[in-house]
């Protein structure tokens, strides 16, 4: 197996682990498998799964998984949360 194929396999396994993993907070735990994928509000073919919500984190950070269908892309954009 060449390095490129091995890297793709590792990325896929990592994504599967994160998509089905568990998020541990100070006061609660959430299973990622129970979080719904939602379509991106602007980019077609892009879905988001919010693991840690910006508001729940006190406006300090967020953590999302991003899934793109073949041929989809995320254009240049700015996150104006600061």
In a domain, 26, yes or no: yes
Q: What is the pLDDT of residues 7-37, one digit of tens each?
A: 778 878 887 878 888 888 778 888 888 899 9
SS3 22: strand
Kindly state whether residue 77 falls inside one of the protein's structural domains: no
* 36-64 pLDDT, tens digit each: 999 999 999 999 999 888 888 888 888 88
Quote the domain boundaries for residue 16.
3-68
Sign of CA dihedral 49, 52, 56, 57: negative
Residue 74 in domain: no
């Amino acid at each position: 197996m060449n390095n490129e194929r091995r890297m793709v396999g590792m990325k896929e396994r990592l994504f599967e682990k994160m998509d089905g993993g568990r998020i541990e907070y100070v006061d609660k735990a959430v299973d990622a498998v129970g979080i719904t994928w939602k379509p991106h509000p602007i980019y077609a073919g892009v879905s988001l799964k919010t693991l840690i919500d910006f508001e729940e984190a006190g406006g300090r950070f967020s953590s999302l998984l991003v899934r793109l269908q073949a041929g989809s892309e995320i254009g240049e954009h700015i996150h104006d949360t600061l």
